[in-house]
Protein backbone atom coordinates (compact mmCIF):
# COMPACT_ATOMS: atom_id res chain seq x y z
CA UNK A 1 0.00 0.00 0.00
CA UNK A 2 1.06 3.58 -0.52
CA UNK A 3 2.60 5.48 2.37
CA UNK A 4 0.55 8.48 3.43
CA UNK A 5 -2.40 7.63 1.20
CA UNK A 6 -5.79 8.87 2.32
CA UNK A 7 -9.18 8.38 0.72
CA UNK A 8 -12.03 10.87 0.82
CA UNK A 9 -15.08 11.97 -1.15
CA UNK A 10 -14.32 14.19 -4.12
CA UNK A 11 -15.79 17.70 -4.10
CA UNK A 12 -16.34 20.31 -6.82
CA UNK A 13 -13.03 21.89 -5.81
CA UNK A 14 -11.23 18.72 -6.91
CA UNK A 15 -12.75 18.68 -10.39
CA UNK A 16 -9.76 20.14 -12.28
CA UNK A 17 -7.27 17.61 -10.92
CA UNK A 18 -9.75 14.75 -11.32
CA UNK A 19 -10.40 15.66 -14.98
CA UNK A 20 -6.69 15.99 -15.81
CA UNK A 21 -5.79 12.72 -14.08
CA UNK A 22 -8.68 10.67 -15.46
CA UNK A 23 -7.98 12.02 -18.98
CA UNK A 24 -4.43 10.61 -18.79
CA UNK A 25 -5.65 7.23 -17.56
CA UNK A 26 -8.39 7.07 -20.20
CA UNK A 27 -5.84 7.33 -23.03
CA UNK A 28 -3.98 4.27 -21.74
CA UNK A 29 -5.64 0.98 -22.79
CA UNK A 30 -4.16 -0.60 -19.65
CA UNK A 31 -6.34 1.70 -17.50
CA UNK A 32 -9.23 2.66 -19.80
CA UNK A 33 -12.77 2.44 -18.41
CA UNK A 34 -15.81 2.24 -20.68
CA UNK A 35 -18.75 4.64 -21.01
CA UNK A 36 -16.66 7.61 -19.91
CA UNK A 37 -15.22 10.17 -22.33
CA UNK A 38 -11.54 10.36 -23.23
CA UNK A 39 -11.23 14.13 -23.60
CA UNK A 40 -10.91 16.53 -20.63
CA UNK A 41 -14.05 18.46 -21.66
CA UNK A 42 -16.03 15.27 -22.11
CA UNK A 43 -14.87 13.84 -18.77
CA UNK A 44 -15.79 17.10 -17.03
CA UNK A 45 -19.27 16.97 -18.55
CA UNK A 46 -19.67 13.29 -17.74
CA UNK A 47 -18.68 13.72 -14.12
CA UNK A 48 -20.68 16.86 -13.47
CA UNK A 49 -23.60 15.37 -15.39
CA UNK A 50 -23.95 12.31 -13.19
CA UNK A 51 -27.41 12.16 -11.69
CA UNK A 52 -28.05 15.18 -9.45
CA UNK A 53 -29.50 15.21 -5.93
CA UNK A 54 -26.71 13.24 -4.37
CA UNK A 55 -27.54 9.97 -6.10
CA UNK A 56 -23.95 9.57 -7.22
CA UNK A 57 -20.71 9.46 -5.33
CA UNK A 58 -17.05 9.91 -6.17
CA UNK A 59 -14.04 9.08 -4.03
CA UNK A 60 -10.39 9.88 -4.57
CA UNK A 61 -7.15 8.45 -3.18
CA UNK A 62 -4.63 11.15 -2.36
CA UNK A 63 -0.96 11.18 -1.53
CA UNK A 64 -0.29 14.68 -0.33
CA UNK A 65 -1.94 16.85 -2.97
CA UNK A 66 -1.52 14.24 -5.73
CA UNK A 67 -4.53 12.28 -6.87
CA UNK A 68 -3.44 8.64 -7.18
CA UNK A 69 -6.83 6.98 -7.50
CA UNK A 70 -10.40 7.82 -8.43
CA UNK A 71 -13.75 6.03 -8.54
CA UNK A 72 -17.23 7.42 -9.26
CA UNK A 73 -20.55 5.66 -8.93
CA UNK A 74 -23.63 6.38 -10.97
CA UNK A 75 -26.69 4.52 -9.84
CA UNK A 76 -30.27 4.09 -10.87
CA UNK A 77 -33.43 2.57 -9.45
CA UNK A 78 -34.67 0.84 -12.62
CA UNK A 79 -32.69 -1.33 -12.86
CA UNK A 80 -31.34 -1.18 -9.28
CA UNK A 81 -27.81 -0.90 -10.61
CA UNK A 82 -24.59 1.01 -10.09
CA UNK A 83 -22.27 1.73 -13.01
CA UNK A 84 -18.77 2.23 -11.67
CA UNK A 85 -16.70 4.87 -13.48
CA UNK A 86 -13.35 3.46 -12.46
CA UNK A 87 -11.52 2.49 -10.40
CA UNK A 88 -8.61 4.47 -11.81
CA UNK A 89 -5.39 3.62 -10.03
CA UNK A 90 -1.97 2.23 -10.83
CA UNK A 91 -2.76 -1.08 -9.13
CA UNK A 92 -5.54 -3.27 -7.78
CA UNK A 93 -4.62 -2.61 -4.13
CA UNK A 94 -5.35 1.12 -4.37
CA UNK A 95 -8.43 0.30 -6.45
CA UNK A 96 -9.69 -2.05 -3.74
CA UNK A 97 -9.42 0.63 -1.06
CA UNK A 98 -11.41 3.03 -3.26
CA UNK A 99 -14.01 0.39 -4.08
CA UNK A 100 -14.53 -0.57 -0.44
CA UNK A 101 -14.94 3.09 0.53
CA UNK A 102 -17.31 3.96 -2.35
CA UNK A 103 -19.32 0.80 -1.77
CA UNK A 104 -20.26 2.03 1.69
CA UNK A 105 -22.02 5.00 0.10
CA UNK A 106 -24.29 2.89 -2.10
CA UNK A 107 -28.00 3.07 -1.27
CA UNK A 108 -29.43 -0.22 -0.07
CA UNK A 109 -31.70 -0.66 -3.12
CA UNK A 110 -28.67 -1.13 -5.40
CA UNK A 111 -28.20 -4.87 -5.91
CA UNK A 112 -26.42 -4.94 -9.29
CA UNK A 113 -22.99 -3.61 -10.15
CA UNK A 114 -21.18 -3.16 -13.45
CA UNK A 115 -17.71 -2.08 -14.49
CA UNK A 116 -16.75 -1.95 -18.16
CA UNK A 117 -13.02 -1.86 -18.87
CA UNK A 118 -10.83 -2.10 -21.94
CA UNK A 119 -10.08 -5.78 -22.50
CA UNK A 120 -6.36 -4.88 -22.32
CA UNK A 121 -6.75 -3.41 -18.79
CA UNK A 122 -3.69 -4.22 -16.66
CA UNK A 123 -5.23 -5.43 -13.42
CA UNK A 124 -9.03 -5.43 -13.88
CA UNK A 125 -9.45 -9.25 -14.15
CA UNK A 126 -7.70 -9.78 -10.80
CA UNK A 127 -9.52 -6.88 -9.13
CA UNK A 128 -12.89 -8.03 -10.46
CA UNK A 129 -12.29 -11.58 -9.31
CA UNK A 130 -11.24 -10.40 -5.85
CA UNK A 131 -14.53 -8.50 -5.44
CA UNK A 132 -16.88 -11.13 -6.84
CA UNK A 133 -17.54 -9.69 -10.29
CA UNK A 134 -18.30 -12.10 -13.13
CA UNK A 135 -16.66 -11.71 -16.54
CA UNK A 136 -19.41 -10.96 -19.11
CA UNK A 137 -19.67 -10.93 -22.87
CA UNK A 138 -17.44 -8.32 -24.47
CA UNK A 139 -18.61 -5.54 -26.76
CA UNK A 140 -16.72 -3.89 -29.60
CA UNK A 141 -16.55 -0.10 -29.58
CA UNK A 142 -16.88 1.08 -33.17
CA UNK A 143 -16.27 4.56 -34.55
CA UNK A 144 -17.13 6.39 -37.74
CA UNK A 145 -14.37 9.01 -37.79
CA UNK A 146 -14.95 12.68 -38.65
CA UNK A 147 -13.13 12.14 -41.96
CA UNK A 148 -15.59 9.46 -43.06
CA UNK A 149 -18.45 10.87 -45.13
CA UNK A 150 -21.82 9.43 -44.20
CA UNK A 151 -23.03 7.10 -46.93
CA UNK A 152 -25.96 8.29 -49.07
CA UNK A 153 -29.47 7.94 -47.66
CA UNK A 154 -31.41 4.92 -48.88
CA UNK A 155 -35.00 3.81 -48.20
CA UNK A 156 -37.31 6.10 -46.20
CA UNK A 157 -36.80 6.61 -42.53
CA UNK A 158 -38.81 9.12 -40.50
CA UNK A 159 -39.06 10.56 -37.00
CA UNK A 160 -40.98 8.41 -34.54
CA UNK A 161 -44.65 9.46 -34.16
CA UNK A 162 -47.08 8.92 -31.30
CA UNK A 163 -48.66 6.15 -33.40
CA UNK A 164 -45.40 4.17 -33.19
CA UNK A 165 -45.27 4.13 -29.39
CA UNK A 166 -46.78 0.69 -28.93
CA UNK A 167 -44.97 -0.95 -31.83
CA UNK A 168 -41.51 0.42 -31.03
CA UNK A 169 -41.92 -0.34 -27.31
CA UNK A 170 -42.74 -3.96 -28.11
CA UNK A 171 -40.00 -4.30 -30.73
CA UNK A 172 -37.34 -2.78 -28.48
CA UNK A 173 -38.29 -5.04 -25.55
CA UNK A 174 -38.20 -8.04 -27.90
CA UNK A 175 -34.81 -7.20 -29.41
CA UNK A 176 -33.11 -5.90 -26.24
CA UNK A 177 -34.81 -7.66 -23.29
CA UNK A 178 -33.67 -6.50 -19.85
CA UNK A 179 -31.62 -3.57 -21.10
CA UNK A 180 -30.99 -0.44 -19.01
CA UNK A 181 -33.51 1.56 -21.11
CA UNK A 182 -36.78 -0.40 -21.48
CA UNK A 183 -39.09 0.33 -24.43
CA UNK A 184 -41.45 2.53 -22.41
CA UNK A 185 -38.55 4.84 -21.52
CA UNK A 186 -37.03 4.73 -25.00
CA UNK A 187 -40.20 5.99 -26.71
CA UNK A 188 -40.50 8.86 -24.23
CA UNK A 189 -37.60 10.45 -26.13
CA UNK A 190 -36.07 11.72 -22.87
CA UNK A 191 -32.77 9.94 -23.38
CA UNK A 192 -32.15 10.38 -27.09
CA UNK A 193 -31.74 13.31 -29.48
CA UNK A 194 -32.41 11.18 -32.56
CA UNK A 195 -35.31 8.73 -32.57
CA UNK A 196 -36.26 7.41 -36.01
CA UNK A 197 -38.48 4.66 -37.36
CA UNK A 198 -38.91 2.74 -40.61
CA UNK A 199 -42.20 1.43 -41.98
CA UNK A 200 -45.66 2.98 -41.91
CA UNK A 201 -46.64 5.07 -38.86
CA UNK A 202 -48.36 2.77 -36.42
CA UNK A 203 -46.68 -0.35 -37.88
CA UNK A 204 -42.93 0.30 -37.51
CA UNK A 205 -40.59 -2.33 -38.94
CA UNK A 206 -37.50 -0.88 -37.26
CA UNK A 207 -36.21 1.98 -35.13
CA UNK A 208 -32.97 3.65 -34.10
CA UNK A 209 -32.09 5.74 -31.02
CA UNK A 210 -29.00 7.95 -30.88
CA UNK A 211 -27.69 10.92 -28.93
CA UNK A 212 -25.25 13.79 -29.11
CA UNK A 213 -22.85 13.32 -26.22
CA UNK A 214 -21.28 15.89 -23.93
CA UNK A 215 -17.98 15.71 -25.84
CA UNK A 216 -19.69 16.55 -29.16
CA UNK A 217 -19.50 13.01 -30.47
CA UNK A 218 -22.55 11.03 -31.55
CA UNK A 219 -23.57 7.73 -29.99
CA UNK A 220 -25.90 5.18 -31.56
CA UNK A 221 -27.53 3.53 -28.58
CA UNK A 222 -29.99 1.06 -30.14
CA UNK A 223 -31.01 -0.12 -33.58
CA UNK A 224 -33.53 -2.89 -34.08
CA UNK A 225 -35.43 -4.37 -37.00
CA UNK A 226 -38.42 -6.72 -36.62
CA UNK A 227 -37.22 -10.31 -37.22
CA UNK A 228 -39.60 -10.80 -40.15
CA UNK A 229 -38.35 -7.61 -41.86
CA UNK A 230 -34.61 -8.24 -41.64
CA UNK A 231 -32.31 -8.57 -44.62
CA UNK A 232 -34.12 -5.93 -46.69
CA UNK A 233 -31.86 -2.96 -46.07
CA UNK A 234 -33.93 -1.45 -43.23
CA UNK A 235 -31.13 -1.62 -40.64
CA UNK A 236 -28.71 -0.01 -43.08
CA UNK A 237 -31.20 2.81 -43.86
CA UNK A 238 -31.82 3.50 -40.18
CA UNK A 239 -28.11 3.76 -39.42
CA UNK A 240 -27.44 5.96 -42.45
CA UNK A 241 -30.31 8.30 -41.47
CA UNK A 242 -29.08 8.50 -37.86
CA UNK A 243 -25.54 9.27 -39.04
CA UNK A 244 -26.90 12.14 -41.17
CA UNK A 245 -29.01 13.48 -38.30
CA UNK A 246 -26.07 13.34 -35.87
CA UNK A 247 -23.72 15.02 -38.36
CA UNK A 248 -26.32 17.75 -38.98
CA UNK A 249 -26.42 18.42 -35.25
CA UNK A 250 -22.64 18.96 -35.33
CA UNK A 251 -21.33 15.56 -34.21
CA UNK A 252 -17.84 14.72 -35.38
CA UNK A 253 -17.12 11.08 -34.65
CA UNK A 254 -19.98 8.66 -34.20
CA UNK A 255 -19.57 5.75 -31.81
CA UNK A 256 -21.46 2.70 -30.70
CA UNK A 257 -20.95 -0.58 -28.92
CA UNK A 258 -22.03 -3.91 -30.27
CA UNK A 259 -21.65 -7.36 -28.77
CA UNK A 260 -18.45 -8.94 -30.01
CA UNK A 261 -20.43 -11.98 -31.21
CA UNK A 262 -23.14 -10.02 -33.12
CA UNK A 263 -21.90 -10.84 -36.61
CA UNK A 264 -24.89 -9.37 -38.49
CA UNK A 265 -24.59 -5.95 -36.89
CA UNK A 266 -20.78 -5.91 -37.01
CA UNK A 267 -20.64 -6.64 -40.71
CA UNK A 268 -23.30 -4.00 -41.35
CA UNK A 269 -21.33 -1.35 -39.43
CA UNK A 270 -18.12 -2.37 -41.09
CA UNK A 271 -19.74 -2.03 -44.54
CA UNK A 272 -20.76 1.52 -43.56
CA UNK A 273 -17.17 2.49 -42.67
CA UNK A 274 -17.16 2.02 -38.89
CA UNK A 275 -13.84 0.77 -37.49
CA UNK A 276 -13.07 -1.03 -34.23
CA UNK A 277 -11.55 1.19 -31.57
CA UNK A 278 -11.39 -1.21 -28.65
CA UNK A 279 -13.04 -4.21 -27.00
CA UNK A 280 -14.85 -3.42 -23.76
CA UNK A 281 -15.22 -6.13 -21.15
CA UNK A 282 -18.13 -5.76 -18.70
CA UNK A 283 -17.66 -7.20 -15.21
CA UNK A 284 -20.95 -7.73 -13.39
CA UNK A 285 -22.12 -8.57 -9.91
CA UNK A 286 -25.64 -9.34 -8.64
CA UNK A 287 -27.17 -9.78 -12.09
CA UNK A 288 -29.74 -12.59 -12.33
> How far out from the chain centre does Cα 46 lie?
11
Shortest distance, position 128 Cβ to ligand COA, whole Å = 25
Q: How far is the CB of 258 from ligand COA (least distance, A)?
A: 5
Q: Does 171 bind ligand COA (CB under 6 A)?
A: no
Asked if 223 is part of the footprint of ligand COA (rule: CB under 6 A), the reply reads: yes
Kindly tell me which residue out of 224, 240, 254, 280 binds ligand COA, with binding defined by CB under 6 A: 224
Segment contacting ligand COA by CB under 6 A, of 13-21, 79-87, 117-125, 263-271 = 263-271
Question: With binding defined as CB under 6 A, does residue 39 bind ligand COA?
Answer: no
Q: Does 264 bind ligand COA (CB under 6 A)?
A: yes
Single out the residue of 188, 194, 241 nearest to residue 221, CA to CA.
194
Told to check if 262 binds ligand COA by CB under 6 A, we report yes
Per CB under 6 A, 80 contacts ligand COA: no
With respect to ligand COA, which residue has the nearer C-beta, 30 or 231? 231
Answer for which of 24, 109, 263, 275 binds ligand COA (CB under 6 A) is 263
Could you tell me which stretch among 53-61, 138-146, 159-167, 222-230 binds ligand COA (CB under 6 A)?
A: 222-230
> Among 4-12, 36-44, 99-107, 265-273, which window interacts with ligand COA (CB under 6 A)?
265-273
Quick check: 236 binds ligand COA (CB under 6 A)?
yes
| DSSP symbols for the chain | --TTEEEEE--GGGHHHHHHHHHHHHTSTTT-BTTS-SSHHHHHHHHHTS-STT-EEEEEEEETTEEEEEEEEEE-SSS-EEEEEEEEESSHHHHHHHHHHHHTTS-TT--EEEEEEETT-SSHHHHHHHTT-EE---EEEEEE-TTSPPPPP-S--EE--GGGHHHHHHHHHHHSTT-SS-HHHHTTTSS-SEEEEESSTTS-SEEEEEEE-TTS-EEEEEEEE-GGGTTSSHHHHHHHHHHHHHHHTT--SEEEEEETT-HHHHHHHHHTT-EEEEEEEEEEES--
Within 10 Å of residue 40's Cβ, how many Cβ atoms?
Answer: 16
Stretch that binds ligand COA, among 10-18, 120-128, 129-137, 216-224 (CB under 6 A): 216-224
Query: At its nearest, how many Å lie between ligand COA and the CB of residue 237?
Result: 7
Q: Which stretch binds ligand COA (CB under 6 A): 58-66, 69-77, 155-163, 217-225?
A: 217-225
Select 247 or 266, whichever has its Cβ closest to ligand COA: 266
Angstrom distance (rounded) from CA 10 to CA 16: 11
**Interface with ligand COA, residue 230, by CB under 6 A:** yes
d(CA 269, CA 275): 8
Instruction: Kindly tell me which of 69 and 235 has the beta carbon lying closer to ligand COA.
Output: 235
Contacting positions for ligand COA (CB under 6 A): 175, 222-225, 230-236, 258, 262-265, 267-268, 271
Amino acid sequence: MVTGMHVRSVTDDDLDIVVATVARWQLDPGHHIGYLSCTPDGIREDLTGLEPNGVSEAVGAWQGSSLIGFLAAEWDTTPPRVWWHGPFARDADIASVLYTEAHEHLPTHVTQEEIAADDRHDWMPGFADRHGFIRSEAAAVLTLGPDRAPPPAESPVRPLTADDTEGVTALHDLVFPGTHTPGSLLVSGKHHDVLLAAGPPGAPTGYIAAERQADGEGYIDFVGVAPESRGRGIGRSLIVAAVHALRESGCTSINLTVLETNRAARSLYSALGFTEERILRPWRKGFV
